[in-house]
Amino acid sequence: MKPDVTVLVYTARDEKPFAGKAKEMHCFEPVLRTLTDQTHKNFELVLVDALWETRPYWFNDHPQPFPVKHVPSSPNYWQQRGWPGLCAQINRGIAWADGDLIWMGAENNLFPPTHVELIWSLYKQGHIPVAWYGIADKDHECGSPREIRDGECPETKFDLCGFTRNDIATMDHRAARFAQDPSLVLSPCHNQHYFGYSSIPTDVAIAINGFDELFDSQITLFDCDVGSRLEMHGVADRLIMHRNLYVIEPPAKMDFGGGITRKKPFKCNYAMLLYNQLIRRSRANTALPDNFVEDVKEKICQQSCALREDCSAKRIGEGDVYPFCEGDDRNLVAGWLANAAPKSLENERELRKARLPPYNRGWINGEFTA
């Protein structure tokens, strides 16, 4: 049976990445436990794994009560070089998705048993659901303070794998609206507040051509860039938050697995976000103007960016490469641009259906292909 929802999970975590209460959990365990308890059963899990080659038979040894596609993120230009490559990883998952609605999240996500039921109901009403989130376990060994940071937690009762509201250490600022108004149930979500742990209809994901892989090598603002594109396609007014639509994260160590680490940036994702908005680049992963880098420098870094003074004075991290991509002493820009060849999600999905590379490997609903 065709699934209603694809739960798309991306990971680059080692086997035991968590701290505090969750420190004995395998990295897949939080999301698998929460999915097993779902009231709406017509969903599939697509897990795109940067460490797939080290654990290709994991689901053979740990069967689940729902369909699973455990697939590699490789080849992935940036991950192969030890940098984050999350947009390419998510796009790989979109190519594998068979649900009408895609829910995107991470391996450490915990959510209520009604989560899939709620997002499917909201989608059928014409909405694109977006979740608020909190990071749990105040006393965890990663060092979060005991006082809740960044906002208020709504009066919501939950017990997810032993984590309760009392464990919240860091709060998504978007949730404050539900804390401040206990009667509020539904609230519009601004397109620039389209963060991680959101849904996207599969046809919309194809229309915008997925996530912009130019944002890879860093893990910032690629989701807000999708929000911009949803606005350009006229669907941003469908973005909605619900009081009972939330994700709780057990604390995880900052390091990734597989040698992937956060590194000093060589380009500025905020400048690209503004540039895509300026030129109304409504589809990601399309051909760039010949003068792309110079155009971003002139129109964003030297004119419209509100951070240009702080950046030029090197008061923020991207100041080392101000204006856009200057000071690239590691010679990374040329490879970055060369890897930005146009890509079509429609074509990727056709390759997947034909099981042609890179879609010829994975553990797909009980069948393994190396």
Taking the C-alpha atoms of residue 234 and residue 34, their distance in angstroms, rounded to an integer, is 33
For residue 318, what pLDDT is reported? 81
- pLDDT tens, 248-272? 998 887 778 999 999 999 999 999 9
| Model confidence band, residue 153 (pLDDT cutoffs 50, 70, 90) | confident
For residue 135, what pLDDT is reported? 86
Domains defined along the chain, listed by start = 5-263+343-369 (3.90.550.10), 269-338 (no CATH)
For residue 169, what pLDDT is reported? 80
For residue 144, what pLDDT is reported? 45
pLDDT at 142 over 70: no
pLDDT, average across residues 29-33: 96
- pLDDT tens, 157-198? 889 998 888 888 888 999 999 999 999 999 999 999 999 999
pLDDT, average across residues 226-248: 97
For residue 130, what pLDDT is reported? 98
CA–CA distances in Å: residue 43 to residues 28, 31, 156, 178, 365: 17, 13, 25, 28, 12
| Model confidence band, residue 80 (pLDDT cutoffs 50, 70, 90) | very high
Taking the C-alpha atoms of residue 168 and residue 90, their distance in angstroms, rounded to an integer, is 27
pLDDT, average across residues 305-326: 90
Q: What predicted TM-score, i.e. pTM, was given to this entire model? A: 0.95
In this prediction, what percent of the chain has a pLDDT beyond 70? 96
